[in-house]
Amino acid sequence: MLERKSPLSQHRILGRFGVNTEEPGITIREIKEFRYLEISYWDGAATPLKSKFLELLTLSDFPEAGKSVALKDGTLLRPGPGLLAYYGGPAPEDILRAMISAGEGSVVSLSHSRCALRLSGPKVRDVLKRGLRINMSEDAFPEGANAYSEIHGLSVLLIRQGKAEYDLLFARSTAPNIWTWLTETAAQFGYEVL
């Protein structure tokens, strides 16, 4: 497989920046190797597909809207109506394509068109709340939650990975703009780029 060239290579500088460099409030790390598949299903196909997913992927449960279910090497997300997504390591792309007929839906690999950042730290929610229109309270956006939103009109997918850990996925073409917003917003808390 070809090595993915980062759309942030001209922007991402490693180190600590902002007002608090001793104890940065947020850590930013680019995730360079990941798979992202969007799985759309047509009206009336949800019930049969749910059964196929549970059986063939040995899922314990099917994700509810805005939630996720862990798989062996990744996560099955349900970020919106009629939409599932796979995010993580080597994707079960062949299995998913074989499971879903053209009359039921489609599977599209968007891995090479996306950029992913892992954001963590005690101030990560404070930074994200300044740009995303998502209720990020513990009850409304618990671990495993995921949602599409926008930052300055640019579409992003936010996935909560842990207590103070989030993944942010967005189109490669918007990476410099997202990076500028993120670093300017994080500067008031101090941030570290790994």
Query: According to the model, what pLDDT value does residue 150 have?
Result: 94
pTM here? 0.89
Measure CA 186 to chain center: 19
Q: Where are the domains of the chain?
A: 15-33+113-193, 35-109
Residues 127, 125: Cα–Cα separation, whole Å: 5
Q: What CATH number does domain 35-109 carry, 3.30.450.20, 3.60.110.10, 3.30.70.1520, 3.30.1490.100?
A: 3.30.70.1520
Nearest residue to 83 (alpha-carbon basis) of 63, 98, 69: 63
DSSP annotation of 71 reads: -
End-to-end Cα, the chain, rounded Å? 24
Amino acid at 139: D
Query: According to the model, what pLDDT value does residue 139 have?
Result: 92
Copy the structure tokens of residue 106: 């489609």
pLDDT in tens, the chain (194 residues): 566 778 888 888 889 999 988 999 999 999 998 999 998 888 877 788 888 888 777 777 888 888 998 888 888 899 888 888 999 987 677 888 888 888 888 889 998 899 999 999 999 999 999 999 999 999 999 999 999 999 989 999 999 999 999 999 999 999 999 999 999 999 999 999 99
What separation in angstroms does the CA of 184 have from each of 17, 55, 115, 177, 181? 10, 46, 19, 11, 5
Query: According to the model, what pLDDT value does residue 2 have?
Result: 60
The architecture of the domain spanning 15-33+113-193 is: 2-Layer Sandwich (3.30)
